[in-house]
Structure 1
Amino acid sequence: MGTKFVAFSLVLLLLIQAAVYGVVQGSIKSNVRAQLQQELAIGDRVWWQLIDQNTERLRSGADVVAKDFGFRSALGTGDIETIRSTMENFGARVKATITAFYDPQFELKTTGADMALEDKLLPVLRRVASELGTTDASYKIELIDGRLYQFVMVPVKAPLTIGWVLMGFELEQAQADAMFKLSGVHIALLSDGKQVLLTSVSSDNASELKALNPATDLEIAGETLVVQESAPRPQVNGFHTYVLRSLDEVVAPYRNVQLALLLITAVGLALFAIGSALLAQRVTVPLRALAGAAEQLSRGDYSQSLPAMRHRDEVGDLSRAFDQMRTSIQGQQHEIMQLAYWDRLTGLPNRTQFRDLIKQSIQASSAGGGPAHPVTVIMLNLDRFKHVNDVLGYAFGDQLLKAVADRLSTHIPPDLGTVARLGGDEFAVMVEDQDATQATPIAHRIAIAFEAPLKLEDQTVDLSAGIGLASWPQHAQDVDMLLSRAEIAMYVAKRKTTGIQIYDPALDSSSTQTLSLLTELRHAVEDGQLRLYLQPKLNLSDNTVIAAEALVRWQHPVRGLVPPMQFIPFAEQTGFVRQLTLWMFEEVAKELPRLRADGRPLRVAINLSTRDLLDQDFPAKLDAMMLKHNAPTNAFCLEITESAIMDDPQRAEATLNRLSERGFKLSIDDFGTGYSSLAYLKRLPVNELKIDKSFVMGMENDESDAKIVRSTIDLAHNLGLSVVAEGVENQAILDKLVELQCDEAQGYFMSKPIPLPDFIAWRAKHQASQAA
């Protein structure tokens, strides 16, 4: 950590210094270029000032000639030799290379004796003389035979202009050298053909000036020269003037500054590295000790105190704060674990711990390499617990949950299964090495445990529960799916009041087998795939068929005849059962004339679901249907299970009263298996009780079932109700029901559910046999 701290600090400092160096470098470049431009401009002015000074000197010499008495006298007499001699003498004094005399019309009269009057020079001299005489130019510089000449011209007046004295001086190297000495700026004069005419650059390197380009710097003998071209002047003809300044000379002072800055940076880095290392050691050593202690805390070891820090600074304060945190965490850890994994009310494992226990059991079973040992979850949910809370209060409800937990723990010892409270009034038991079928006796043990009422605060509470079972790996491949499917089975058990239910994919509206079932059911209604089946009911007093139970079957185009248990529970879960109920009424009402075509009355029983009873518009829908088919309401018997009534007794009672007022006969289906209540039985407009087949089928061999059937028949008759017994499987049971004065009976002994045409034929055959 200390090394990283030092390295980070050095890198940060380097970045800062690099940024500073970059800014300085950029500033130097900008300043150097600005200075170069300024010096080049000054050098350019110096050059032309030197030319102007030279012009004045030359004009003074020419003026002496023009004012000389002898020269003027020779002009007056026309003595050409004297004029030439005078001009030659004075030209030699002022170092003029070319001398000439022109008349006022710029016609050449004579030249100095040293000039051979070459024909090719005369037009140039005449043009120069004409330009100097007719313009304001004080001089002219001309390129003649590869040499540069500066010309000046003065008038000869007496008092009018009687002629012109022209003198030309060759530009010399001394002038260029003087220019460089005065300004430190080189001068270079190049012809249009890039011939070097005059320059202050060393003659050894002068030839390199041919590559001169004002747009780029020029490299000569390892030295960089910045180039600038002088502005064009009317006095100059046939060449270009350039000023050049050494970039290296201008940059040299700044390089010293850069070197000093680099030296300061190097020294600063060294000092900073030493200081950072010392600081890092002071900080990181105690922090490393704290990190070791923190790692110890991360492993859950809160028993050892942190090392004491002598520093009276932030690190020491941090160490002391860490130690206080350790003691606080140590004190709270147990409470946190309790909150995270245990139910505070009952002391049982909560959902989180229960899930972890199942997961560990599944992993242990999977890791063995051999056959997987099943893991089963038994989930139960208390019935009517909300009603207990509403009537007796939440405090009593909490006491009741504690009592339930104690009873479960008593009946399910740890070696048999692990009991947990998942939340609310929901409990669960994990059973290892047993599948759902093998664990069913444990579920029965739990159900038996709830048969004895609970006594709390002078209150006696009868409890029951819906119990669902699911197993790994038979029903689920992971812990979450296992819990979900056990819960599905539990809720199916509560709805069907079966007490105990093992998970089956047909019960699961979210399983892969039933994903498309709702759509297919809709199509079944629309496409006429549903079939109406009827199971006859015998009047035991005269053995006639006076009623029948209507049942639905699904003739699937691909699956064939789908059993009711594969789609009825799903329809109840999704609410589609209401459409199935209306379809049943529609079919029966439509076929009622065929069923009564023989002149004998027939009553058809149709099952109602909980959703039908809770639909406030259901009676009105039946009214419209009866009116549509002109069907009498007394031809229908509506069978309702006790559990459907108990889900919402008030709404169910209101719906049943409205149906009874319309003339429908009402029957309590599966009587004796649900929440039988004489109070509700007395208040509801019920006409019939239907004894559950589990009692009827067992009455032949079980005296207890026989007593239940006898008692139910007596109870119904005493209340003025008729009785139907379902599940008649043989003649002995039928004879027993006749003996007990049961009103009606149905079962496979008489006939299983059959299609409507078959039912009509069966009924006719039965009546014929009775008549015979």
Structure 2
Amino acid sequence: MVRSLRGSTRLVVLVLATTTVLVLLMQWFVISRTVPAVEANERRSIDELLASSRDVWVRRHGERTTEQTEALSLILADQGWLATLHPEPMPAGGLFGAEYRATLADVVDNFGTRAGYSFAALLQDDGTPLLVQPALPEADTAALVPSVRRLVAEVEGRPRRGKLAPSASTIVALGERAYRVVVQELGTQDRRRWMAMAFAIDDEMAALHQDMHVHATLLAGPESGLVPVFTTLPDRAQAQRLAALDTDAEELRGTGDPVRVRSHLVGDAPDGRIVLRLSRSLASAEAEGERMRQELTGFVALGLAAFAALMWLLSRWFVTRSLDGLVGAARRLGRQDYDVAVPVTGPVREFRQLAFALDTMRQDLRAEEYFDRRLTQLPNRLHFRRELDKALAEARPVTVLLVGLNRFKEINRRIGYTAGDRLLKAMAERLVQVVRPGDFVARLGGDLFGVLLAGADHDSACRAAERIGRELEQPLDLDGNRVDRQAAIGIAMAPLHADAAEPLLARAELALYAAKDRRESFIVYDAAFDRESEANLALLSELRHARDNGELRLHLQPKVDLKSGRIAGAEALLRWVHPQRGLIPPGRFIPYAEDTPIIKDLTLWVFEAAVREQPSLRAHGIGRVSINLSARDLMDLDLPAKLDALLSKHGAEASGLCLETTESAVMGDIARAQQTLTRLRERGYKLSIDDFGEGQTSMRYLKDLPVHELKVDMVFIKGMQTDPRTEYIVKALIEVGHQYGLSVVAEGVENAAVALRLAELGCNEGQGWHFGKPMPADELYRWARAWTAREEQGQPA
């Protein structure tokens, strides 16, 4: 009986101890996860508010700029104003002479007051103020001059939009206030002059503070020495500290409450920048985290007290040892260390069960956090980054390979997303099979995979990339669909290219993009990729405004009938004349525009420009003009209606227009492309497949496409003179086109010998520098007259 009682007492004690330990572990886990999560969530909320506030500012700034620009336009178009500018008779001292200056100032003040202005300045043609109303301090007037001169230079030469004169605006800091300054042409009789009208923006920033509950501080000056111009902060010293922050800083700590910060560049000029810095206190976030930490700590303290009391009842030799292992395991879980297994040992069954439960939880958390459990079962991005950090910390040479599929989105659309997932699983399996033992493979997201090669040098990394590329290029059969894949691989090595994980991954990604752009199987990172990436982003941003700023130009390249020697047509090509960089080659901006919706706007611009030029082209014997369509254009089912609207606008017809698209654009989504092409053909357009022979067009699809013409890729045409086998390919492509009832055009014809041989092979038309380079319309007309005259005289092409 005594033995039984002792056994029951021991069982009760063990159950209580086990329960207490479990509660402690749960509390420990909750504290380690919940408190940082609460603080992080508060930070995210503040960051989202700051981002929303920045967007609100940008939207309101745009609206106010439009309103104030229109207000200035209405003033300058007002009959009373025009009468003031053109007095009869003209005062003896001129429009800005002393005897007329007071009258002019009164009229400016009258109209400016109605528009809600702060001050206005009448400017000479170079932007120098002739009259400022109301008068400004000399220092403010001097500070205003560079800004208005830049605006005058920006507006000068722009065409009028209907009745509205061109205008430009900027934010200018004068003294302790900031103004939105709008400049338009004044329209005086004696010489060209300008009006600048300024509107204070203090109320706009105060409204942003009131509506969004964030503080707004406007800073001005050189990047290294910004100073506050206006702030809604009650403490001016806090504004000074914000001004000293870096542009990309996100948090300010020091004296006072910590704050989260977001910056927005309002204006950037050689003589200084204007930056809007939005801020919000972090006191609420840290207070909430501290409150929860105290509460949870109190619960843990109570649990520890109970645990200490129970420990006195338990036998030290087995309880202490078991609990030490469990507490250590719990602490590792709290630190998110899921690699060390929890030993399931000890003389007490309940402790063993608890250890088993903890180890099961560890395995589940490790799988959730470090593996792609939904699809490939490979390690995920976090796991890959962890292994990379570990290798770099040990100062070992490391090579990162980023592997992606070319045209994966197109393949996904063609075969469906379920089959696309199976494609990724097959890709993961082949990657694991082809790498060496010890190499680390992970799925980083989408079709992007990472391979970590420990200790690889340049040559072994290239060999590994070649091996992976060959394996992944093997075709795959998915539900009867043969999927031809081509992998692209970017390579970066540490410490050669970077000695930290983030820059190393970023540079491997740049190399991957370069491999995709250049259609190479793999590329090793080069420092030029960073400069090229920054330049391309800046260029793409400026391209968005090129159309509205009148920077686009239409060039035309002639096509010639190879049999008769007569002019067969011309191809419309886009050129960009940048105001600072001059003529930018199409290869510098078209490939990047094709990745964005901008390309559709550019297509419509070229189409409309070609339609406007069509009557003059016909008058010079050029009866057909070709226009290129991108892959995004083909996917736009509204494209035919958009082209119809432009034809109707200019009273033109589809006949005489040829729409060219590439093989790769068609193969992206054949069904949708075929639908768009069929609707275009029904409207009377001639249709052409450009760069034929270079892409992946199947003969099975070619016979079903509603096209009239094939253009043989210039790679084959240029290779005819150096490689006899290339001529066989060209001959075969011409015969394929004729068998399908299509006319064939050769592009890249650069000399008479190639033109003659193409005519002998039966090619219908030729295009290239041998006949004429791309040129503006007026040059093309001179070329056409000379070509026709030479043809009539019987001279050879």
> What is the aligned counterpart of 2:405 among 361, 376, 380?
380
User: What value does the CA root-mean-square deviation take over the aligned residues?
Assistant: 4.5
- Note closer, same or farther for the CA distance 1:729–1:399 as it changes in structure 2 (3 Å cut): same
> What is the aligned counterpart of 2:380 among 328, 350, 355?
350
Query: Partner of 1:174 in structure 2?
Result: none
Give matches, 1:110-149, under 5 Å: none
Query: Partner of 2:718 in structure 1?
Result: 697
Contact 2:634/2:665 (CA < 8 Å) preserved in 1? yes
- Note closer, same or farther for the CA distance 1:605–1:281 as it changes in structure 2 (3 Å cut): closer
Give matches, 1:34-53, under 5 Å: none
> What is the aligned counterpart of 1:724 among 734, 742, 745?
745
Query: Partner of 1:594 in structure 2?
Result: 616
Following superposition, the deviation at residue 608 of structure 1 comes to 0.6
- Note closer, same or farther for the CA distance 1:291–1:493 as it changes in structure 2 (3 Å cut): same
Query: Partner of 2:356 in structure 1?
Result: 327
Matched, 1:631 2:652: yes
Matched, 1:536 2:568: no
Matched, 1:606 2:616: no
Query: Partner of 2:118 in structure 1?
Result: none
Following superposition, the deviation at residue 732 of structure 1 comes to 4.4
Matched, 1:282 2:315: no
Residue type of the partner of 2:773?
K
Matched, 1:549 2:571: yes
CA radius of gyration, larger in: 1
Contact 1:700/1:733 (CA < 8 Å) preserved in 2? yes
Query: Partner of 1:11 in structure 2?
Result: none
The structure whose RCO (Cα within 8 Å, separation 6+) is larger is: 2
The whole-number CA distance in structure 1 between the counterparts of 2:423 and 2:400 is 29
Contact 2:511/2:526 (CA < 8 Å) preserved in 1? yes
The whole-number CA distance in structure 2 between the counterparts of 1:521 and 1:558 is 13
SS of 2:694's equivalent? coil
SS of 1:589's equivalent? helix
Contact 1:539/1:744 (CA < 8 Å) preserved in 2? yes
Following superposition, the deviation at residue 722 of structure 1 comes to 0.8
Residue type of the partner of 1:547?
G
After superposition, what is the alpha-carbon deviation per residue over 1:208-235, rounded to whole angstroms, capped at 9, x for unaligned?
xxxxxxxxxxxxxxxxxxxxxxxxxxxx
Identify which range, 548-557 or 446-455, moves more after superposition.
446-455
- Note closer, same or farther for the CA distance 1:622–1:409 as it changes in structure 2 (3 Å cut): same
Contact 1:467/1:489 (CA < 8 Å) preserved in 2? no
SS of 2:706's equivalent? coil
Following superposition, the deviation at residue 649 of structure 1 comes to 3.0
Matched, 1:651 2:672: yes
Matched, 1:526 2:551: no
- Note closer, same or farther for the CA distance 1:561–1:385 as it changes in structure 2 (3 Å cut): closer
Following superposition, the deviation at residue 575 of structure 1 comes to 0.2
The whole-number CA distance in structure 1 between the counterparts of 2:478 and 2:638 is 42
Contact 1:379/1:429 (CA < 8 Å) preserved in 2? no
- Note closer, same or farther for the CA distance 1:530–1:414 as it changes in structure 2 (3 Å cut): farther
Following superposition, the deviation at residue 695 of structure 1 comes to 2.7
Identity of aligned residues (%): 42
Following superposition, the deviation at residue 483 of structure 1 comes to 5.3
Following superposition, the deviation at residue 435 of structure 1 comes to 10
In structure 2, the gaps of 5 or more residues are 1-304, 333-338
Question: TM-score under structure 1 normalisation?
Answer: 0.52
The whole-number CA distance in structure 2 between the counterparts of 1:722 and 1:477 is 57
Aligned length: 477
After superposition, what is the alpha-carbon deviation per residue over 1:672-719, rounded to whole angstroms, capped at 9, x for unaligned?
233313333222220011122233333444455433322211111011
Query: Partner of 2:594 in structure 1?
Result: 572
Query: Partner of 1:682 in structure 2?
Result: 703
Query: Partner of 2:230 in structure 1?
Result: none
Query: Partner of 1:706 in structure 2?
Result: 727
Following superposition, the deviation at residue 591 of structure 1 comes to 2.0
Contact 1:723/1:744 (CA < 8 Å) preserved in 2? yes
Query: Partner of 1:233 in structure 2?
Result: none
Identify which range, 654-663 or 565-574, moves more after superposition.
565-574
Residue type of the partner of 1:723?
V
> What is the aligned counterpart of 2:779 among 755, 758, 761?
758
Query: Partner of 2:212 in structure 1?
Result: none
- Note closer, same or farther for the CA distance 1:560–1:358 as it changes in structure 2 (3 Å cut): farther
Residue type of the partner of 1:565?
G
SS of 1:541's equivalent? coil
Residue type of the partner of 1:726?
E
- Note closer, same or farther for the CA distance 1:276–1:530 as it changes in structure 2 (3 Å cut): closer
The whole-number CA distance in structure 2 between the counterparts of 1:663 and 1:501 is 45
- Note closer, same or farther for the CA distance 1:565–1:435 as it changes in structure 2 (3 Å cut): farther
SS of 2:619's equivalent? coil
Give matches, 1:430-445, under 5 Å: 430=452
The whole-number CA distance in structure 2 between the counterparts of 1:487 and 1:418 is 17
Query: Partner of 2:104 in structure 1?
Result: none
- Note closer, same or farther for the CA distance 1:503–1:328 as it changes in structure 2 (3 Å cut): same
The whole-number CA distance in structure 1 between the counterparts of 2:460 and 2:771 is 36
SS of 1:528's equivalent? coil
Query: Partner of 2:326 in structure 1?
Result: 294
The whole-number CA distance in structure 2 between the counterparts of 1:432 and 1:538 is 58
Contact 1:665/1:687 (CA < 8 Å) preserved in 2? yes
Residue type of the partner of 1:727?
G
- Note closer, same or farther for the CA distance 1:486–1:662 as it changes in structure 2 (3 Å cut): farther
Give matches, 1:201-280, under 5 Å: none
